[in-house]
């Protein structure tokens, strides 16, 4: 479909009229829409899996594990908690507000929302965010990625079948269409993608003072730190699993591993074994191994590997026809090398040795760079790990584990600085797509003249004395 600024403006206008009708405010109605969304995901399961296979080379297991199951889980958590989350809060107003003693905080929807989703998890990062928007009582315009064309096509049919366009509409197309969307006045924007585009979204939103949530990858990537006391075999197994997942095209994936030089050689060998055990000796030829989203993404990955050809200790080969590039270990890499100062978003894994006694210097260097979306630590020194996790700035992470913090119910997924702003999942998503409105319940009886003029003379002195008493 060909879009224009006027056509998209008309879509937004119809959604605003629908929102202003008040239909989306009813909690029972919202719950019914979420149940409809869940049943739709289950009904479209095979179509989603086929589209993920076409766009990203995902196996049926990986498609279900990484996109479909988390989407259903997200909807289930929202269905279970929405009544409680949406209930107005009741607060005591305090003596300063006497005789009005009750204040309520209502959780109000923003209105018409724009969701811009990425290619790497096109089902989860579209429908997971949509779940939060609908739970909040909003309408939604969705702009999906043109790179994951098969998933976009299925999602477009899916949305059209489930919801009327004045409630939820999916728009396809490239960057020009995204800019047409950003030219409109939305009430809330949620963008998932790169920091560079995130800046563009934020600048466009500023023209209308539209609140924005950004989930970004971080410009200098997510670090995994392996200390000399770590269980190397366990760490290698988990790092290998995560780097294989979606061929490294994950915003919270490990961009580089810093490993204590005392155990670095041993860790590299364990990592080689772990990759081989999980995917074999020629992963670029394995049907179950995901592909890079486009041939240009494959070419960027291959070109970067060539720059470090003399430090490749595993991998370094690919199948350009099918856009698969083998997981590739680069070792040793310096902490100031260009490859560890950018988000890779591919199967390359630089390994940076450091002296274990100088681990705090390493963490200080990481802290000086742009804040990552994720941080992973492998060590038996839990005290040190807790100190690091409570003092560094990052989105989220794990100690002696990778990525599964994303699956915990009741906790936020978010970034900070160049890795994003805002948060969602469960109640945090509901909060992201609603704004709290404070309403004091006034009284028409027993109102005292304390706040009223005169402020001078005996009356003024008495009022000041009473006010100072109340402030103690």
Catalytic sites, residue numbers: 215, 251
- Residue carrying the six token digits 């923003």: 110
Residue 410 token pair: 């009741």
CA distances from 452 to 89, 447, 456 (A): 30, 11, 11
Cβ–Cβ < 8 Å for 159, 170? yes
Residue 230 token pair: 């770590």
Residue 77 token pair: 């958590």
CB-neighbour burial class of residue 249 (10 A; exposed 0-12, middle 13-18, buried 19+)? buried
d(CA 445, CA 443): 6
Query: Hey, is 360 helix, strand or coil?
Result: helix
Query: Hey, is 346 helix, strand or coil?
Result: coil
Phi then psi for 188, rounded to 5 degrees? -165, 140
Closest CA to 442 of 103, 108, 90, 107: 103
- Kindly give the interhelix angle for 124-135 and 69-86, rounded to the nearest 10 degrees: 10
Q: What angle do CA 13, 15, 16 make, to 5 degrees?
A: 65
Residue 273 token pair: 């074994």
Burial 344-359 (b: 16+ CB within 10 A, else e): bbbbbbbbbbbebeeb
Cβ–Cβ < 8 Å for 245, 364? no
Question: 348-354 and 328-330: which strand pairing?
Answer: parallel
Preceding omega of 124 cis (within 30 degrees of 0): no
CB < 8 Å & 24+ apart, contacts of 47-50? 47/154, 47/158, 48/123, 48/151, 48/154, 50/150, 50/154
How far apart, in Å, do the first and last CA atoms of the chain sit? 66
Instruction: For residue 233, list its beta bridge partners.
Output: none
Residue 279 token pair: 């995917």
C-beta atoms surrounding 210 within 10 Å:
20
Cβ–Cβ < 8 Å for 417, 371? yes
């Amino acid at each position: 479909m060909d879009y224009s600024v006027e056509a998209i403006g008309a879509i937004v206008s119809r959604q605003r009229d629908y929102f202003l009708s008040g239909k989306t405010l009813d909690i029972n109605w919202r719950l019914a829409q979420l149940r409809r969304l869940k049943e739709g995901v289950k009904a479209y399961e095979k179509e989603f899996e086929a589209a993920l296979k076409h766009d990203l080379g995902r196996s049926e297991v990986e498609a279900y594990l990484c996109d479909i199951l988390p989407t259903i889980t997200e909807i289930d958590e929202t269905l279970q908690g929405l009544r409680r989350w949406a209930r107005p809060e009741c607060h005591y107003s305090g003596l300063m507000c006497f005789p009005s003693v009750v204040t309520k905080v209502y959780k109000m929807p923003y209105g018409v929302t724009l969701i811009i989703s990425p290619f790497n998890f096109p089902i989860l990062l579209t429908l997971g965010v949509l779940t939060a928007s609908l739970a909040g009582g909003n309408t939604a315009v969705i702009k999906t990625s043109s790179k994951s064309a098969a998933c976009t096509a299925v999602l477009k049919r899916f949305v059209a079948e489930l919801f009327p366009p004045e409630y939820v509409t999916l728009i396809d197309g490239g960057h020009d269409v995204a800019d047409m969307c950003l030219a409109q006045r939305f009430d809330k924007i949620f963008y998932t993608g790169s920091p560079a585009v995130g800046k563009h979204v934020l600048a466009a939103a500023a023209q209308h003072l539209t609140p924005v949530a950004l989930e970004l990858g971080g410009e200098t990537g997510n670090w995994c730190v392996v200390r000399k006391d770590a269980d190397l075999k366990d760490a290698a197994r988990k790092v290998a699993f995560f780097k294989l997942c979606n061929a490294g095209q994950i915003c919270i994936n490990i961009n580089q591993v810093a490993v204590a030089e005392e155990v670095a050689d041993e860790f590299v060998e364990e990592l080689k074994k772990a990759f081989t055990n999980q995917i074999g000796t020629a992963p670029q030829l394995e049907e179950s191994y995901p592909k890079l989203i486009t041939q240009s993404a494959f070419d960027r990955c291959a070109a970067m590997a060539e720059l470090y050809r003399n430090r490749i200790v595993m991998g370094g080969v690919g199948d350009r026809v099918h856009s698969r590039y083998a997981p590739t270990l680069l070792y040793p890499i310096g902490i100031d090398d260009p490859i560890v100062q950018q988000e890779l978003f591919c199967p390359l894994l630089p390994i940076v040795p450091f002296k274990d006694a100088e681990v705090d210097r390493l963490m200080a260097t990481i802290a000086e760079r742009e804040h990552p979306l994720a941080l992973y630590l492998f060590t038996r020194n839990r005290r040190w790990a807790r100190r690091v996790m409570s003092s560094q700035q990052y989105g989220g992470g794990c100690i002696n584990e990778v990525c599964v913090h994303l699956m915990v119910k009741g906790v936020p997924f978010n970034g900070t600085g160049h890795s994003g702003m805002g948060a969602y999942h469960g109640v945090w998503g509901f909060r992201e797509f609603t704004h709290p409105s404070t309403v004091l319940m006034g009284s028409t009886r027993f109102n005292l003249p304390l706040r009223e003029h005169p402020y001078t003379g005996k009356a003024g002195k008495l009022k000041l004395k009473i006010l100072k008493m109340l402030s103690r």
